[in-house]
Amino acid sequence: VGRVTVVGDCEEDIAKGLGTLSREYDLVVVTGGLGPTLDDLTRAAVSRAVGRPLVEQPAAAQEIRNWFAERGREMPDSNLRQALFPRGAEVLTNARGTAPGFTLKMADARLFVLPGPPLEMEGMLMGEVLPRLTEAASGAGQGVLPRRDFFLVGLSESAFADAAGEWMERGACPRMGVTAKASILCVRLTLDDGSASEQALELRARDFRERFGRWIFSEETPDLARVVAQRLVESRTSLALAESCTGGLIAAALTGVPGISSVFREGLVTYSNAAKSGRLGVEEELLERHGAVSAEVAAAMAVGCARSSGADLALAVTGIAGPGGGSADKPVGLIHYGLWHRGEADTCERRFPGRGREQVREFATQTALALIWKALQGC
């Protein structure tokens, strides 16, 4: 990807931008502005940029009518605007929404115009655009750049950079790039100069696994929840959760993965002390003596969660998400975990200081998933 340009809802700006990009690049993918409302200007802007009028394509109009009929909904008149295309454009089907896309040649460039809603765009990119590109590339005797991805958890970006050393230097071959998202590191090795053989990539990947193996949770996806869910399902380990400060985020992440229902028993968002006692049997005396955010309560929550759910593995989280509720002793960002597995309860604590409520909760959630992932290593 050579350049990404974002322009506002102005027909002239969009048309001008398309002119520039189509002169400088072979391929231009446009997203957004194909909706039914009058501020959806992309079809008019493309029509202006290529100098061809908009015409209604009857087949596309029929598809839009069908979309509404199948759902038993009346079609608002404005939706018929979505059947207008610059003359000569090839219509691309949108299986996930009402706005079809289209493709056409503009000067020497190929233009793909896709709707903006991420799911619809993604569906059309995977289903319509990429297959056409792969076919065109292989027709021209080209392939894709060799690369390897690694996804790590439990290591900071700085500590990673120090341990990676010369592998990350600018002139290094293969080239190594790293990005961080919450506590997940995404590392990519790429051969991009064409002079090195693919073997150099394999060797570096092997050395990388040796140096960083204990932190690598996947070579395919940065989605730790998906990896944890798959391992739970594969090892037939049933799970229950007791969440306080994460408020349902761990359950939400894991239940986002299809198939999890075979192992996920239940999640309890025991936000109040009453819920911790009533649902998990945490003794009130324990809550009073140590406070709700303590290793003792985290352990009791995990044990109570395992007992009442009958799950093989139970994880409990209690912490201070902020912005209020912190003290010198127990500052905002302090999180206690309790993990019950194979008849034993373990606890650990983590601190995420200097972060906002949203980020404390996100880090606490990713760390919880990492703890389940580690507990499952031997399964």
In the range 358-377, which residues lie near its own copies by CB under 8 A?
358-359, 361
Peptide bond into 36 cis (omega under 30): no
Phi-psi region of 61 (alpha: psi -120 to 50; beta: other; left: phi over 0): alpha
Nearer to its own copies, 14 or 104 (CB): 14
**CA–CA dist 279, 274 (Å, integer):** 8
CB of 110 to its own copies, least distance (A): 21
CB of 359 to its own copies, least distance (A): 5
CB of 78 to its own copies, least distance (A): 5
Residues 284-313 that bind its own copies (CB under 8 A): 308-309
Examine residue 255 and tell whether it contacts its own copies (CB under 8 A).
yes
Examine residue 194 and tell whether it contacts its own copies (CB under 8 A).
no
What does DSSP assign to residue 127? I
Q: Is 138 helix (H, G, I), strand (E, B) or coil?
A: helix
Examine residue 233 and tell whether it contacts its own copies (CB under 8 A).
no
CA 216 to chain centre: 17
Pick from 69, 95, 137, 203 the residue near its own copies by CB under 8 A: 95
| Cα–Cα–Cα angle for 159, 161, 162, rounded to 5 degrees | 65
Tell me the window of 84-92, 134-142, 158-166, 366-374 that interacts with its own copies (CB under 8 A). Answer: 158-166
Instruction: Copy the structure tokens of residue 192.
Output: 């991009």
Examine residue 55 and tell whether it contacts its own copies (CB under 8 A).
no
Tell me the window of 85-93, 106-114, 258-266, 282-290 that interacts with its own copies (CB under 8 A). Answer: 258-266
Nearer to its own copies, 55 or 275 (CB): 275
Tell me the window of 53-61, 73-81, 103-111, 336-344 that interacts with its own copies (CB under 8 A). Answer: 73-81
Pick from 115, 304, 322, 338 the residue near its own copies by CB under 8 A: 322
Other Cβ atoms less than 10 A from the Cβ of 122: the count is 12
Burial of 100: CB neighbours in 10 Å, binned 0-12, 13-18, 19+:
buried
Are 350 and 364 in contact by the 8 Å Cβ rule? The answer is yes
Distances (CA, A) of 377 to 122, 216, 262, 287, 302: 33, 12, 20, 32, 19
**CA–CA dist 78, 360 (Å, integer):** 44
CB of 235 to its own copies, least distance (A): 18
CB of 102 to its own copies, least distance (A): 20
Q: What number of chain residues touch its own copies (CB under 8 A)?
A: 86
Examine residue 180 and tell whether it contacts its own copies (CB under 8 A).
yes
Residues 324-353 that bind its own copies (CB under 8 A): 324, 351, 353
Pick from 12, 24, 26, 37 the residue near its own copies by CB under 8 A: 37
Backbone angles phi, psi at 266, to 5 degrees: -165, 160
Nearer to its own copies, 41 or 371 (CB): 41
